[in-house]
Amino acid sequence: MPAGKRLSMRLSWRNHITPAQLEEGRAPGKRQSRFSSQSVNGDVGGNGTGGPRTTSLASHYNMASLVNIKHKRKVWVRILLEFGGYIVIVAFVYFVLIGLPLWKGAVYWLYWVVKYKFVVEGGWSIVMGLVVLFSYTPLLAPFEKPPPDAEFYSQRNIQLSSTPTCALIIPAYRSGAFIGDTLDAALKVFPACHIFVVANGNSSSPLDTTEEVCQIRGVNHLWCPIGSKIIAIFVGCHAAKGFPHILLMDDDCILPPDFPVVTSRLTKGTQCISYTIKCTGADSSGMTWCQKAQDLEYKLAGLTRSFAGRVGSATFPHGAISLWNKRFLKRVMEHHPGFSISEDWFMGHACRRLGGRIQMCSAVFVETGTPSALFWTSSAQSRGGFGETTLFKQRFLRWNLFVFSSLWHNMAYIAASWKLGWWEFGAKIFVFQEVYETMTYLLASFILPISIMVKPGFCMTILAAIVGLYLLQALIFNEIHLRRKKEHVNWAVIIGYYVPYKMCLSLINVVGSYWCLFKYARYFAQQRLKLTEDHKVVGMVLKLEQQMQGATLSRRITVRRVDTVNDSNQTP
């Protein structure tokens, strides 16, 4: 994208887009059988050496069209799969777990084993050991020192870098009311021509005033008529021509003025850098206690991922903000399952499977929006993105949807993925931590009541000790790590609210783990395609590539409709 040019597009699709549309606008006498994309900086989708792309968008579209024709599920098939899933779940619960009066089910035998064969003290000792290992080891790794402020550079007559190799992509959904603050902060770090806002929604035209806000500030705007964050990221990757690096950021994040764009850390082995985050307004007194507890939780998660990145790889980057090598990110998009929920987890999983480490930059905290209440709030309040106004809706309905399926992906990764070299051993420790947490959620509803029935006094003592360990971890983290960063949280929040807050979240996670199994029947009854298997998505990107070939001729291009091209109009 040439400097000083602003891109504004509205993309759409129709069922009969053909890759031959790319023949339009090409100089006479020049034929090409496969579509290739090449930028002024040598940024290509394939090998990065200026040659043709190894994976053609046209080939992806042809394959996606075949998938759409051959594997499109009819309504009766979806209904059959959904209710068949419900029947399987009910049958498993009765015949396997309960069994009575036909036979003694798995729950009875689990009770029998715990009471007569299992050493309760030994089992809970293992749990205590894992709690200490996973909770306290990351406290050994401090946060990075904050970057110098603008005054430091001005006093030394040093000119700050204008991030010439990095584009900022912001997927946006109904964010016209607040994205102005996001862009104002971003413009202090990035030039306007480096910022791409990809608004999305299930509509042929924009849903709010996001485009007008972008026009006022001179940043690039694209409208994607399919409501999905991962699709918006996919479109943004192809819109950001000439940039070898991409910073992905949510529409409610606020970049600090001294935000470091650490593209130098992206090497052959490290392909993604995530940033530590905090709640918006963490330095003010207007936050609710729920938001302050989330602020502490986010910062603690940032330290844990920072430690994981140092010894191996973080499991996945924060969905709020992450820095990528664009060529590698396109490969990640090709391996992404296309789910619009938990897209950050699957991006991290694909990144590690492809041999890319995920590390953290903890020099600054990036502000991001959070729900203001745990279970209930006024209906007048609203948020961007998925719009959850309570933490319960966010965690129970969305974050926990793929908790159970992640168990399969993580076990397969531990057994079969070894592309990170020696860093793989450190990475697998934290992948195993996810497996352990998932198994804890799934077995807690059985093991905990049975253990209390067998040895109530001992189990209650152990539970109190575990709660005390987590409280001590939060206090140490707050008083040592956060105080050094001048980001500490009020003691009253930690002692009076954080512990019951975490207990409620644990209950939500346990119940949500079983609820997600019930939701799988309906979710997977629908056809779920990878991004490169969805003919609508690939068709939009094909049209985007075609239109951007002439985007340098004008400051504004609006694609209202992608029409079918007749074979008679195609170049022979």
Looking at the fold, whether 344 and 409 belong to one and the same domain comes out as yes
Looking at the fold, whether 143 and 109 belong to one and the same domain comes out as no
Of 378 and 366, the one with more pLDDT: 366
Looking at the fold, whether 96 and 189 belong to one and the same domain comes out as no
> Mean pLDDT over residues 239-261, rounded?
90
- Residue 274 β-bridge partners: 322, 360
Q: Which two tokens stand for residue 224?
A: 């994607």
Name the residue range of residue 174's domain: 138-375+382-525
CA 361 – CA 275 distance, rounded (Å): 5
Beta pairing, strands 321-325 & 245-249: antiparallel
Maximum distance among all alpha carbons in the chain? 85
pLDDT tens-digit readout, 317-338: 988 899 999 999 999 988 888 8
| Residue 189 placed within a domain | yes
Q: What is the CATH number of the domain that holds 330?
A: 3.90.550.10
| Residue 126 placed within a domain | no
> Mean pLDDT over residues 548-554, rounded?
50
Q: Name, in order, each residue with C-beta under 8 angstroms of 279's C-beta and a sequence gap of 6 or more.
A: 287, 291, 292, 294, 295, 298, 367, 368, 369, 370
Share of the chain above pLDDT 90, in %: 26
Q: How far is CA 161 from the centre of its chain?
A: 28
SS3 245: strand
| Residue 277 placed within a domain | yes
Return mean pLDDT, the chain. Answer: 79
Predicted confidence band at 43 (pLDDT cuts at 50, 70, 90)?
very low
| Residue 9 placed within a domain | no
Question: How many domains are there within the chain?
Answer: 2
CA atoms within 13 A on the CB side of 549: 17
Looking at the fold, whether 83 and 232 belong to one and the same domain comes out as no
* Helix, strand, coil percentages in the chain from 3-state DSSP, rounded to 5: 50, 10, 35
| Residue 95 placed within a domain | yes
Cβ-based neighbour number of residue 148 at 10 Å: 14
CA 236 – CA 310 distance, rounded (Å): 30
Looking at the fold, whether 80 and 147 belong to one and the same domain comes out as no
- Residue 537 β-bridge partners: none
| Residue 370 placed within a domain | yes
| Residue 180 placed within a domain | yes
Residue 340 has pLDDT above 50, yes or no: yes
Looking at the fold, whether 406 and 473 belong to one and the same domain comes out as yes
| Residue 56 placed within a domain | no
Handedness of CA 369, 372, 375, 376 (dihedral sign): negative
Q: Which two tokens stand for residue 31?
A: 């034929």
Looking at the fold, whether 350 and 450 belong to one and the same domain comes out as yes
> Mean pLDDT over residues 512-517, rounded?
86
What does the pLDDT read at residue 564?
30
Residue 369 has pLDDT above 70, yes or no: yes
What does the pLDDT read at residue 565?
29
Looking at the fold, whether 177 and 274 belong to one and the same domain comes out as yes
Looking at the fold, whether 314 and 435 belong to one and the same domain comes out as yes
**What is the residue-wise DSSP string for 316-375?**
S--SSEEEEEHHHHHHHHHHS---SSSHHHHHHHHHHHTT-EEEEEEEEEEEE---SBSS
Lowest-confidence pick of 39-43, 277-281, 312-316, 460-464: 39-43
Looking at the fold, whether 142 and 98 belong to one and the same domain comes out as no
pLDDT tens-digit readout, 76-115: 888 898 899 889 989 998 899 898 888 888 888 888 888 8
Looking at the fold, whether 231 and 314 belong to one and the same domain comes out as yes
Looking at 86, 116, 146, the residue that finishes a domain is 116
> Mean pLDDT over residues 242-266, rounded?
90
Looking at the fold, whether 199 and 107 belong to one and the same domain comes out as no
Distances (CA, A) of 49 to 267, 270, 408: 16, 19, 37
